[in-house]
A and B are shown apart, each in its own frame.
Chain A
Amino acid sequence: MILSAVLLAVLALGLAGWTFARNKARLLYAGRGSMHSMPVYHGWHFALWIVLPGLLAWGVWSVAMPTLVNGSILADPAAAALPADDMQRAAILSEARAIAADPSVFAFDPLSARLADPIRVAEGKWGTIGALLVLICALAGGAHAWTRVRAGFPARTRVERVVMAVLLVVSLMAILTTVGIIGSLVFEAGLFFKDVSPLAFLTGTHWSPANAHGGDISANFGAVPLFWGTIYIGAIIAMFVAIPLGLMSAIYLTQYATRRVRGWFKPLLEILAGVPTVVYGYFAALTVAPKVRDFAAWIGMNNPSTESALAAGLVMGVMIIPFVSSMADDSLAAVPRSMSDGSLALGATRSETIKKVLLPAALPGIVAGVMLAISRAIGETMIVVMAAGASANLSANPFASMTTVTYQIVQMLTGDQEFNNPKTLSAFALGLVLFVVTLILNIIALRVVKRFREAYE
């Protein structure tokens, strides 16, 4: 409580300091007419010296205080009655803390009611000490900076340095988050691979985690059907739709469309990219899947399932069209006009020019676009959850129900699972595989694009 108040106080001090230092610098400026830094930089320099030490002290104290409070409580005679079991102990202490904060809370355990008072006292004590510490740090920093509000002091350089440091820290945070996520993925997958052999996981063809009991469970975690389903839906069926449609629309837009038509078409295609995947999902499940099933029945399959790889793949292909077409569009546009001029001047028609000069020249960029599209498609979840099904089928029949890596991840992590069971952990192993594949696809694609850009400067 008092700690949040002191935080506000530090900020207020900073604001006041900013004004004071700037005014003092202005007076100096008025007296001498020339200084190293503008008054406002002196203001910032001073304010930063108040706020940053204050914040630092506050941060350290916020982390340290619970330990200190706990220490005080355990020293209290009432705490001697606490049970030895860690979980019960923590439950009572947290109840006591709640009562300390709000006495009207009902105490299930009388012990926690007795501990509430000591907690309140300890929190008060440590809170006050912390607040004083924070204020002292802020004021000490301020005192240090106050002596620096002089004409020759390079406040501007110092402030710039702090700005840079802040930006650095913020960008590091983004990177560290990514590293953390990858780390946890690797760690949990590692736990999974303690129970299941990686070889069996990557090459086994039988996926039935629900039956994984007892001794050797590796045989139930053969993920090949999931990999196959993912590739069949995301990289084969979807690309059968997305590559021709995306490429042709890019060709039309870059080579044939008038500026006005282009002005209409491009935003419309971009809308396609903006449709939430869940909308595609129910479009796939409610509209496309029944049609696909009827078609399967019509061509004589008996008992076709509503869920099918084809339905999911078709809709995913539509979803991916804008990716392919915008990458193809960029690559075609990046081929210098002099190339097509050269071809046209030889008496080639426009479509000959496209086929024989433009497409080969733009091919690397187009391939890269397709790879990015595939990496996007295999990571797509909503459509397959709604339309592809849950059965791990290793089949080339597009009308069969199939499951994918992403679908199984969702399956494994929803519902009330214990965390440390191989079934749940398999989600992390699957996630890791997906991550590695997507990463590789992206890296190759970006390399290719870069090479290609360099070829045309």
Chain B
Amino acid sequence: MTDIKLQARNVDVYYGQKKAIDNVSIDIDNGLVTAFIGPSGCGKSTFLRSLNRMNDTIADARVTGEILLDGEDIYAASMDPVALRARVGMVFQKPNPFPKSIYENIAYGPRIHGLAQGKADMDVIVEKSLTQAGLWNEVKDRLNDPGTALSGGQQQRLCIARAVAVSPEVILMDEPCSALDPIATARIEELIDDLRQTYAIVIVTHSMQQAARVSQRTAFFHLGVMVEYGETSEIFTNPREARTKDYITGRYG
């Protein structure tokens, strides 16, 4: 019971007049990886973005319903979206390092939030974050190279390190491996499993194998509705809903 990190209650998301998410309720637990699967365009990213209020940055997007982080409504007037996003970090589909050095990419968030007292402190944060993202050994000798000079997989791990650097409680990942090759993907999947000890992780993926490999809980979305949510092993071996079964068995995609 105390392990629930995020709670969504009857959440609808609209783009202008168009309803993209219809009445979704879900509990997301600490210490677990929760995967969102479903055919593309079904609203996975939209729902994910409503969990850290990134939808606020889209002009005509509107969220109704309740989303609670540790029991606190994140859409309440008292909640500052900027502070919220420091607690609920996000990794995007396409690696998007800033056009700055590797070091500065990591230091960016801590500096904004005043997490480091002085350069030595910041060095510690940078090293710790890069280590957590499994990137330290590869880049420790070239922290001043531009982040954009890394390979795609390294860039994505840099983005994960960047998110980790502000010590969030939840990390949202929107198809983090869809632009990567299988080896880079495998590294990120290992990394996700390590990070789960420290953060609640929500990952959107279009690959069912990936969901099966990295997640403990899976939610299946279809046409803006959450069709089914449960233990990953249950969903993949014994789905309750016909639509889930059809999707899992590749009847449509």
Known: A258-B59, A341-B54, A341-B57. A347 touches B96 (CB 8 A): no
Asked if A76 is at the interface (CB within 8 A of a chain B CB), the reply is: no
The answer, yes or no, to whether A342 is at the interface (CB within 8 Å) is yes
Q: How far is the CA of A336 from the CA of B89 in the complex (A)?
A: 20
Complex CA distance for A258 and B162, rounded to whole angstroms: 30
Given that A338-B96, A357-B98, A361-B99 are known contacts, is A345 also in contact with B59, CB under 8 Å in the complex?
no
Per-residue B-contact encoding for A319-349, CB less than 8 Å = 1, 0 else = 0000000000000000010111111111111
Distance in angstroms from B98 CB to nearest chain A CB is 6
When C-beta atoms are compared, the residue in chain B nearest to A345 turns out to be: B90
A344: chain B residues within 8 A (beta carbon) = 54, 57, 85
- Rounded to whole angstroms, the CA-CA distance of A368 and B52 in the bound complex is 37
Query: Whole-angstrom distance from the CB of B58 to the nearest CB of chain A?
Result: 10
- Interface presence of B136 (CB below 8 A): no
Give the distance to chain B from A54, nearest Cβ to Cβ, in Å. Answer: 62
- A360 x B96 contact (CB < 8 A): no
Residues of A close to B86: CB separation below 8 A: 346-347
Cβ contacts under 8 Å, B83 to chain A = 347
Cα of A348 to Cα of B107 in the assembled complex, Å: 12
In the complex formed, the residue of A with least CB distance to B112 is A348
Residue of B whose beta carbon sits closest to that of A356: B108
| B240 CB–A CB distance under 8 Å | no
Specify which chain B residues have a CB less than 8 angstroms from the CB of A336 in the assembled complex.
96
Q: For the complex, what is the distance from the CA of A195 to the CA of B71, rounded to whole Å?
A: 88
Q: Is A160 an interface residue (CB 8 A)?
A: no
The interface residues of chain B lying within 8 Å CB-to-CB of A339 are: 96, 98-99
B5 proximal to A (CB < 8 A) = no
| Contacting pair B89 A346 (CB below 8 A) | yes
A342 pairs with B98, CB closer than 8 A: yes
Nearest opposing residue in chain B for A347, CB measure: B86
Considering only residues 42-101 of chain B, those with a C-beta below 8 Å from chain A are 52, 54, 57, 59, 82-87, 89-90, 92, 94, 96-100
Minimum CB–CB distance for A352 against chain B, Å: 6
Q: Tell me if A348 and B82 are in contact (CB < 8 A).
A: yes
The reply to whether the CB of B163 lies closer than 8 angstroms to some CB of chain A is: yes
Closest to B159 in A: A342
The 0/1 profile, CB within 8 Å of A marked 1, for residues 222-237 of chain B is 0000000000000000
CA–CA, A311 and B59, complex, Å: 42
CA distance A226 to B97 in the complex (A): 47
Q: Which residues in B have their C-beta under 8 angstroms from that of A340?
A: 57
A399 and B100 CA atoms in complex are apart in Å by 43
Contact with A along B144-171 (1 / 0, CB 8 A): 0000000000000001001100100000
* Cross-chain contact A338 with B92 (CB below 8 angstroms): yes
A344→B163 CA distance, assembly (Å): 11
Smallest Cβ distance from B92 to chain A, in angstroms? 6
Cβ contact within 8 Å between B99 and A360: yes
In the assembly, what is the distance between CA of A352 and CA of B109, in Å? Answer: 11
A259/B59 in contact, CB under 8 A: yes
Identify the interface centre among B86, B108, B162, B166: most chain A CB within 10 Å of its CB: B108
A-B contact pairs, 27 of them (CB 8 A): A338-B92, A338-B94, A338-B96, A339-B99, A341-B54, A341-B96, A342-B92, A342-B98, A343-B108, A344-B54, A344-B57, A344-B85, A345-B85, A345-B90, A346-B85, A346-B86, A346-B89, A346-B112, A346-B163, A347-B84, A347-B87, A347-B109, A347-B166, A349-B82, A356-B112, A357-B98, A361-B98
Q: B residues within 8 Å of A by Cβ? A: 52, 54, 57, 59, 82-87, 89-90, 92, 94, 96-100, 108-109, 112-113, 159, 162-163, 166
A-B interface, 5 closest residue pairs, ranked by CB to CB distance from nearest: A347-B86, A345-B90, A338-B96, A346-B109, A347-B85
